[in-house]
Amino acid sequence: MKSKQALQAAQAISIQPKKGFRANRDVPLYLLLLPGFALLFIFNYIPMFGIVISFQDFSPFLGIAKSSWIGFENFEYFLFDTKFWEVMRNTLVINLLQLIVGFPIPIIFALCLNELYSARFKKIMQTISYLPYFVSWVVAAGIVTSILSPSTGLVNKFLQILGMEPVYFLTKPEYFRTIVVLSGIWKNFGMNAVYYIAAFSAIDLSLYEAAKIDGAGKMRQIWHITLPGIRNIAMILLILQVGNMVSIGFQQIFLLYNPMVYEVGDVISTYTYRLGIEQTRYSLTTAIGFTQSIVNFILVYAANRVSKAVSGWSLW
């Protein structure tokens, strides 16, 4: 009897995977990862060397090696420049509006889709909602411009029916931020809702059955089961969005704004574009981008710590 038990134990040990490095098992996996790591290193890490430009009076004709070193003069220039703080204010205001208004909408939309009984109708609505995500901002901005056109736009046609004068919305500072926020939500909320819909599938259905037996209505089920079930993915998206608080998509603003709305629509990305491309002030734009990256890192770290303190969950 003992010999039989010993034989079974020996067989169980023999079939357990061996720990440590095994060439025939691990080398092919590392080779599959190698192209991805190579691209990451070439396009994300090697360009980091260009940070030194922010401490130089850089000239493309002299190169990094021969350009003169000026220390923190570029940082001092933009930190004391009133124009920089204007575009910083615009960036923060637009991002805060997108966070406050745009963050709950995918959750609400996903909850509504999750309550639909018709699987076919649910798929149709989901496809329609995330289709704009795959459209480039060039096309999306053209659609927004056409809808808001003062002569042929649908919005102004409706205003004319009501007896009102047409409005050129994209030249009005009081409307521009709202247009940016709403167009950004329209383009991205469907794809963000997909993450929550995927999280719903991981929730144990027996929890809903138990809640029904206990007399819980639909709203209580959503509050006590559904929302806690998507908490982790919601915190991930929230942390990432907070981490990009001083960044904003260049294409959207660049394609929608014009000099008449610079005071409310000019953001860091468009400001650095004009400095770098139009005025060839490469050192200054590099210093701004370097500072922007540091602030983004601090925001991500702070949001992660707050998430861990409040909800007990964090990315790391």
Give the model confidence (pLDDT) of 210-247 as tens digits: 888 888 888 888 888 888 888 888 888 888 888 888 88
Determine the Cα–Cα distance for residues 292 and 290; give it in Å rounded to an integer.
5
Q: What pLDDT is recorded for position 200?
A: 87
How distant, in Å, are the alpha carbons of 23, 116, 212 from that of 197?
40, 12, 22
Q: Which of 145, 185, 179 is nearest to 265 (CA)?
A: 179
pLDDT the model gives residue 204:
85
Q: Cα-flanking dihedrals φ and ψ of residue 57, to 5°? A: -95, 80
CA distance 85 to 267: 10
Q: How far apart are CA 288 and CA 272, in angstroms?
A: 8
| 234: Cβ contacts below 8 Å, ≥ 6 apart | 107, 196
Residues ≥6 apart with Cβ < 8 Å to 315: 236, 239, 304, 307
pLDDT for 25 equals 78
Return all residues near 218 (Cβ < 8 A) that are at least 6 apart. Answer: 115
Per-residue pLDDT of the chain (316 residues; tens, 9 = 90+): 445 555 455 455 444 555 666 767 788 888 899 999 999 999 988 888 888 999 999 888 888 888 899 989 999 988 888 888 999 999 999 999 999 999 999 999 999 888 888 888 888 888 899 899 999 999 999 999 999 998 888 898 998 888 888 889 999 999 999 999 999 999 999 989 988 988 888 888 888 888 888 888 888 888 888 888 888 888 888 888 888 888 877 889 999 988 899 999 899 999 989 888 888 888 999 999 888 888 888 988 888 888 888 777 777 7
pLDDT digits (tens, 9 = 90+) for 105-127: 999 999 988 888 888 888 888 88
pLDDT tens figures, 154-176: 898 998 888 888 889 999 999 99
Domain boundaries in the chain? 17-71, 72-311
| CB 218, CB 115: distance < 8 Å | yes
- Whether the full predicted model's pTM is greater than 0.85, yes or no, is no
CA pair distance 173, 170, nearest whole angstrom: 8
247: closest CA among 278, 290, 277? 290
N- to C-terminal Cα distance for the chain? 50
Fold of 72-311: MetI-like fold (1.10.3720)
User: How high is the pLDDT of residue 2?
Assistant: 45
